[in-house]
């Protein structure tokens, strides 16, 4: 069983492009959510805010022809992968690596545009690239093509747990000796009127029009999540591969757990059984007791049900010590990146390790009697974090958790 290290982290997020911009946003406690209801197509929606990657320009990283042939989610994924490989100093063309990328919805904007063309102008106006642009494995495939990676390449579609599943699967492929390294993470780009309308009709989105107060994980006044977009890709390597090329580790992945609620397509059970089972399985996989965990980066969506259930699961896992373990949600700053959320939030764990600061739940103000843990409110907290737990839960009742250790 090989040890598996993170050696690179590439990200396109609402806080900015690249690790430095992402870390700076976390350090400053900056909320990257803004109003979108004044933009074309968004008027009249119940949800007024979102967290777009407003400063992302794919043309700064890719040639125009390449940009045109990629959906927005694939553009973000390819750029994040290039940044991750650059940081790791890895030559992906040396062979043997894998690419595993999760997404919840995929390039929906391409389908919508082509459907409109089909209705208005006929079948001859449908793009011949529609299928390869929108298929859910496109981000993984495009990364493989861009970087010349000829090992296993596939997509993961487990809703908001997708990128955490992708990282966990890559971790196991490397640990068991199937590949020496992998690029793993997720991508999502669906800040579209129809998507906001659909989530809003479910009662899942915040209707708070104040960008600074809309995403409020674990707060008594929370009323739903804020839709974000972005991509995050990690370079994972076996210890042998990392040493042989003289690479530097950022952190070590030591455990992965997963479960299914088998309960409801969009709601978790009140007792948090599935969330608990995923966290417990990740710790068993790591060979570590709950007492070893110094920090939990929560799924923390800001929905009334998720935050209450996740809190209950954390209490069950840690027992009385749950009140001593810092728990925070990065979604208070960047919203919910759906299929990319888990990978971006592993980046927040790297921030805790490398900066000595636990990222905050910056918008938390009001205690909920059922959410009564230490949610690191306001601003990042200086701390020595050695072991962190990352939670991700998705529609379909699909749960994933990772245990990450400092080096």
Q: Is residue 250 part of a domain?
A: no
Same domain? 99 vs 232:
yes
Task: List residues with catalytic annotation.
Answer: 160, 299, 336
Same domain? 272 vs 239:
no
**pLDDT given at position 5:** 98
Same domain? 261 vs 174:
no
Boundary-marking domain end, from 244, 276, 303: 244
Q: Could you tell me the two tokens for 86?
A: 């650059």
Give the angle subtended at the CA of 361 by the CAs of 35 and 317, to the nearest 5°: 130
Instruction: Give one DSSP letter per residue of 238-274, joined into a string.
Output: EHHHHHHTT---SEEEEEEEEEE--S-SS---TT-HH
**pLDDT given at position 252:** 98
Mean pLDDT, to the nearest integer, of 36-43? 95
CA–CA dist 268, 266 (Å, integer): 7
Same domain? 292 vs 332:
yes
Same domain? 189 vs 262:
no
Same domain? 174 vs 281:
no
pLDDT tens-digit readout, 259-301: 999 999 999 999 999 999 999 999 999 999 999 999 999 999 9
Same domain? 285 vs 383:
yes
pLDDT tens-digit readout, 337-386: 999 999 999 999 999 999 999 999 999 999 999 999 999 999 999 999 99
The length of the chain in residues reads 407
pLDDT above 90 (res 8): yes
Number of domains within the chain: 2
Same domain? 151 vs 82:
yes
Give the angle subtended at the CA of 185 by the CAs of 403 and 331, to the nearest 5°: 75
Mean pLDDT, to the nearest integer, of 221-229? 98
Q: Residue 338 is part of which domain span?
A: 255-405
Give the angle subtended at the CA of 338 by the CAs of 53 and 353, to the nearest 5°: 75
pLDDT tens-digit readout, 112-126: 999 999 999 999 999
CA–CA dist 323, 316 (Å, integer): 11
pLDDT tens-digit readout, 71-112: 999 999 999 999 999 999 999 998 889 999 999 999 999 999
- Work out the pLDDT band at 313, boundaries 50, 70, 90: very high
pLDDT above 90 (res 230): yes
For 22, residues 6+ apart whose C-beta sits below 8 A from its C-beta are: 11, 13, 15, 16, 344, 347, 351
**pLDDT given at position 95:** 80
User: Locate tokens 């299928």: which residue?
Assistant: 131
Nearest to 235 by CA among 404, 99, 339, 95: 99
**pLDDT given at position 94:** 85
Same domain? 138 vs 205:
yes
Boundary-marking domain end, from 223, 244, 265: 244
Same domain? 237 vs 276:
no
Whole-number Cα distances in Å, 209 to 178, 214, 242, 305: 49, 7, 47, 21
Question: What integer best gives the mean pLDDT of the chain?
Answer: 97
Q: Is residue 312 part of a domain?
A: yes
256 within 8 A of 342, measured Cβ to Cβ: no
pLDDT over 90, % of the chain: 98
- CATH number of the domain within which 341 lies: 3.40.47.10
Same domain? 357 vs 297:
yes
209 within 8 A of 33, measured Cβ to Cβ: no
């Amino acid at each position: 069983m090989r040890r598996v290290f993170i050696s690179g982290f590439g990200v396109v997020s609402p806080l900015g492009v690249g690790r430095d911009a992402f870390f700076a946003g976390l350090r400053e406690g900056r909320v990257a959510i803004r109003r979108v209801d004044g933009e074309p197509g968004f008027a009249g929606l119940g949800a007024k805010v979102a967290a777009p990657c407003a400063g992302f320009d794919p043309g700064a990283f890719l040639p125009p022809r390449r940009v045109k042939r990629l959906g927005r989610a694939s553009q973000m994924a390819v750029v994040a992968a290039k940044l991750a490989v650059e940081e790791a100093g890895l030559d992906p063309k040396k062979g043997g690596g894998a690419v595993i990328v999760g997404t919840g919805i995929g390039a929906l904007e391409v389908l919508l545009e082509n459907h409109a063309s089909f209705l208005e102008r006929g079948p001859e106006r449908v793009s011949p690239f529609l299928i390869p642009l929108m298929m859910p494995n496109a981000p993984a495939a495009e990364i493989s093509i861009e970087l010349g990676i000829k090992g296993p390449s596939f997509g993961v579609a487990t809703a908001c747990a997708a990128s955490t599943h992708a990282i966990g699967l890559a971790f196991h492929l490397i640990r068991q000796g199937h590949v020496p390294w992998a690029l793993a993470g997720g991508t999502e780009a669906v800040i579209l009127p129809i998507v906001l309308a659909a989530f809003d009709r479910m009662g899942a989105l915040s209707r708070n029009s104040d960008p600074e107060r809309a995403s409020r994980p674990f707060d008594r006044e929370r009323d739903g999540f804020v839709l974000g977009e972005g991509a995050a890709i990690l370079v994972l390597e076996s210890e042998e591969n990392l040493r042989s090329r003289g690479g530097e580790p950022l952190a070590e992945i030591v455990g992965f757990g997963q479960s299914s609620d088998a309960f409801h397509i969009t709601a978790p059970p009140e007792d948090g059984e599935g969330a608990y089972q995923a966290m417990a399985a990740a710790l068993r996989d790591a060979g570590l007791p709950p007492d070893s965990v110094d920090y939990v980066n929560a799924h923390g969506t800001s929905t009334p049900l998720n935050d209450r259930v996740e809190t209950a699961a954390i209490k069950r896992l840690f027992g009385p010590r749950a009140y001593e373990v810092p728990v925070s949600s990065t979604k208070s700053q960047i919203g919910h990146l759906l299929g990319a959320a888990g990978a971006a939030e592993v980046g927040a764990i790297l921030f805790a390790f490398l900066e000595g600061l636990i990222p905050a739940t910056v918008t938390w103000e009001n205690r909920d009697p059922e959410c009564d843990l230490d949610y690191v409110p306001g601003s990042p907290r200086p701390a020595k974090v050695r072991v962190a737990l990352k939670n991700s839960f998705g529609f379909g009742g699909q749960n994933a958790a990772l245990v990450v250790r400092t080096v």
